[in-house]
Amino acid sequence: MLSKESKIRVLENFYSLDYIFFGKPLKKVESCCLGLVEEYINVKGALLAIMVEMYKLVEHSPKPLTEKISTKVFTANAKRYAKYARESAQKIVTTEKAKQNIKEQLKRNLSENKNVNVPKMVEGLIREKAFKLAVDHLLIARTIAESKGVSKMNEWTGKLLEDSYKILRDSVVESALTILDDGGKDI
């Protein structure tokens, strides 16, 4: 059973993901296709369901709340956590290791398809990498910092959750990028 604080963290993360990708709540994002938005919401929900299981496994125990959480505080927290995650991702994506990783991915992509707009592909790869890092920072780094049994992630169940997390994280990033490319405001 999750604590009240862990449940609040799940909800904060649900809204923080929108701020990471779109810079605003999903309801304010324009998209020509409702199906894209539905897919994004479904994948985001599945990702957070994996996070709930991860919270249970690692004994997630954030600081107890001492005050009542209002919608205004809740929204401000979601924005703040998303901003911090994006800033952290931006710092990481500019490292030499990240640049090398992006170059390797670019080479793989070019070997598969030579008729491609290289600058646009590079921009897309950087953007995708940054979003993945921001999501990891928001969800995983905070979980590690707020949990007692992180070593349980090395067990079979933990590895299964981690693999599921990575698949769903990649899918939610792909869905968000599709919405942005479809007509959502490019941030």
DSSP string, 36-88: HHHHHHHHHHHHHHHHHHHHHHTTB-PPPP-SPPPHHHHHHHHHHHHHHHHHH
Residue 87 lies in a domain: yes
- pLDDT at position 186 is 41
Give the pLDDT mean for 113-124: 85
Q: Is the pLDDT of residue 181 over 90?
A: no
183 falls in which pLDDT band (50, 70, 90)?
Answer: low
Is 152's pLDDT higher than 80?
Answer: yes
How many structural domains comprise the chain? 1
DSSP character for 96? H
Residue 115 lies in a domain: yes
* 31: pLDDT strictly greater than 80: no
Check pLDDT > 80 for residue 32.
Answer: no
- Residue 187: inside a domain, yes or no? no
Share of the chain above pLDDT 90, in %: 68
Indicate if the pLDDT at residue 120 is higher than 60.
yes
The reply to whether 41 falls in a domain is: yes
| Position 105 in a domain | yes
Structure tokens at 176: 């968000």
Is residue 171 included in any domain, yes or no? Answer: yes
CA angle 65, 2, 150 (to 5 degrees): 95
Q: Which domain holds residue 108?
A: 4-182
Q: Is residue 139 part of a domain?
A: yes
Two tokens, residue 165: 């997390």
Is residue 110 very low, low, confident or very high in pLDDT (cuts 50, 70, 90)? confident
| Ordered DSSP codes for 125-171 | HHHHHHHHHHHHIIIIIHHHHTBS-GGGGGSHHHHHHHHHHHHHHHH
